[in-house]
Chain A
Amino acid sequence: MSKIVETAEIARQDPSYYQALRELLFQLADDDFIISFRGSEWLGLAPHIEEDVAYSSITQNTMGHAVMYYNLLEELGEGDANFLAHDRGASDRRNGAYLEKRNGEGKYLEEPYFDWALAVVRNYFYESFKKVKLEAISTSSYKPLANVAKKVLMEHPYHFAHWKLWIKQLQTSSEEAKKRIQNRIEEAWEEFLDVLELGNYGNEMVQHQLIAIDEETIKGNWLEEVKTVLVAMPEGPLGKKYGSGRNGEHTSDLDQALGTLAEVFQSDKTAIW
């Protein structure tokens, strides 16, 4: 039997349903928000101008996706979307910890020795995961979420193709590029697992049909995709070196990100900007 929850008001009537929905929405919002933030730090620093234009377009779309999820949370009664984005501490964040990782050495305004290999591997891994998760929520019992997922899925193929092309190109080009990419893949293998997980409320998300598949299936589907692209699959199991971002475990890199992205917001929270 499939259930449909049409509005925020109905969702609020079942505490268990509400809790699982809330967690899922924060995962979706915070993932897109933080990866878009890391993308915005890259602005003006990409390997060539065409890439700067393309990457900033993807980054902007991704921020747009985060906004849609924060708006759903606002509708649910979680508070103003701007506060949800700018005024939650690290332990309240639900993004995968790997996604908050710094872009490389230096800061975005000072000596930004950012690593394009990290950008390519991270974005390819993320977009291939995003596809799996979006498809699984496009039939969500929470109608407003299913609608957003369908919208996001329409923009997604372009983003996905972009990063897939990059990783394919670099994996088969110069020796240096191959090595740099492979190193970042091996590194990600030890850090990416919590991105694929659903956190403490994963079972409830599935029971309430908020998402069509469980985390094992998400992981399996994601592995199927990356297997077709990676020239050399890492041998060990996937790990989550930094703990589970889905349960609020994060690194100091997230603190740095929040300090930057909320700097102006925090300078006067009562102001209208």
Chain B
Amino acid sequence: MYNYVEDGDSKTSAYMEQDQEKYEAFMTRIEAGEKIEADDWMPADYRQALIKLISMHGISEIMGALPEKEWVPKAPTLKRKLGIMAKVQDEMGHGQLLLRVAEDLMKPYGKTREDLMEDLLNGDLKFHNVFHMPTKTWADAGMVGWLVDGAAIISQTNMLDASYGPYQRALQRICQEEVFHAQHGESIIMALAEGNDYQREILQESLNRWWPALLMFFGPSSAETTGSSKQDIMINYKIRKSTNEELRQAFLSKYLPRVFSLGLTVPDETVRYDEKEEKWIYKQPDWEEFKQIIRNKGPRSKERLRVREIAYENNRWVRQALATDPVSV
């Protein structure tokens, strides 16, 4: 899934393009709405921004399966078991699709998927802040589908017209599936909201816990907050259209009325819609904490990476066996 995460410590200096002519032709193409393909010429900072965006998106899909995975075997009814299995399978599928797109972009640098996995494990490749958070109750399974996937839909539909063709096409399919995920999540939430006291209690408790992470989801509104911002380059190169803050506002406009209509609250007494300014006023989440989280210092960062690491190490013999001698069947 998910929105571009900025950590504030990896400033790539805007690369001065040698070949001005190629660069201008490239800009003319994307401004005319043409799509760039994997083998086309592209500026180095465009390629690097895409690699970072897409590998982070892909790996977040995969790491995003882990918090939900906790609830797959535990889903409380047969219908819920089938629903959450289908959803998490989709997420793994998104990861697969996106890593392939990233792999093509990395070819000129001689990097592969193995490198991405190693980057993830050694902390060079970040995954999205929401997936560093713990899940405590079944309500979290609903909250992830409803609001995390809901936030993902907002940020991904913003890139449905992205200038890079392979990513743009992958997003069409991903966004279609995300709509089902949000419905799946909403259905879990509705059952809890209409349920007994205990169910409503775990629902509200879950929303309280997820709220700051959901605000952080879209990233800081400007470079000042965390020290750097890639949103400008993403917009200039027509990868996405809106700023972080615009996306967050769209999220609040879509979901806060629904939250309130279910009789739920958010842990922010100051939150309100300002008619004059035409925007939501809300308490900023702790951006210092955000920086820590995406540096793998979040509440569950270590455990989730550990699971990934075990899977990677523990299956090494299988990957080696597959590389040995493929049998003809």
A residues in contact (CB < 8 Å) with B: 37, 40-41, 43-50, 52-53, 56-57, 59-60, 63-64, 66-67, 70, 81-82, 85-86, 106, 108-114, 116, 164-165, 168-170, 172-174, 176-177, 180, 260-261, 263-265, 267-268, 270-273
Contact = CB atoms under 8 A, between A and B. Distances in A.
Interface in B169-206: 188, 191, 194-196, 198-199
A43 B82 contact: no
B32 interface: no
B327 A168 contact: yes
Interface string B90-112: 00110110010000000000000
A112 B198 contact: no
Nearest to A269: B76
A113 B71 CA distance: 19
A56 B88 contact: yes
B74 interface: yes
Nearest to B202: A267
Most A CB atoms within 10 A — which of B62, B196, B321? B321
B199 A60 contact: no
The 7 closest A-B pairs by CB, nearest first: A177-B321, A173-B321, A264-B76, A47-B315, A273-B76, A47-B318, A60-B85
Main secondary structure of the interface of A (DSSP, over half): helix
A53 B78 contact: no
Contacts of B199: 268, 271
Contact of A63 (B70, B76, B78, B320): B78
A194 to B, nearest CB: 24
Given A70-B78, A116-B318, A272-B191, A169 B326 contact: yes
Interface string B289-329: 00000000000000100111011001101111110111101
Given A60-B89, A260-B73, A265-B76, 14 more contacts: A41-B73, A44-B311, A45-B307, A50-B96, A56-B89, A64-B82, A85-B78, A113-B314, A116-B318, A169-B321, A173-B325, A264-B76, A271-B76, A273-B191
A17 to B, nearest CB: 26
A24 to B, nearest CB: 20
A169 B96 contact: no
B233 interface: no
B81 interface: yes
Contact of B82 (A41, A46, A67, A177): A67
A264 B75 contact: yes
A46 B311 contact: yes
A271 B77 CA distance: 11
B80 interface: yes
Contacts of B5: none
Given A82-B77, A85-B78, A112 B315 contact: no
A59 B85 CA distance: 8
Contact of A272 (B195, B303, B310): B195
Given A56-B85, A81-B78, A273-B76, A111 B310 contact: yes
Contact of A44 (B93, B138, B307, B321): B307
Contact of A165 (B80, B314, B329): B329
Contacts of B188: 273
Nearest to A70: B78
A271 B96 contact: no
Contacts of A176: 317, 320-321
B318 A260 contact: no
A47 B315 CA distance: 5
Nearest to A266: B76
B218 to A, nearest CB: 26
B86 interface: yes
B311 A264 contact: no
Nearest to B99: A49
A110 B66 CA distance: 12
Contacts of B162: none
B206 to A, nearest CB: 13
Contacts of B77: 82, 86, 265, 273
Given A53-B89, A82-B78, A272-B195, A173 B311 contact: no
Interface centre among B69, B92, B93 (most CB of A within 10 A): B92
A49 B86 CA distance: 16
A49 B329 contact: no
Contacts of B50: none
B148 interface: no
B134 to A, nearest CB: 11
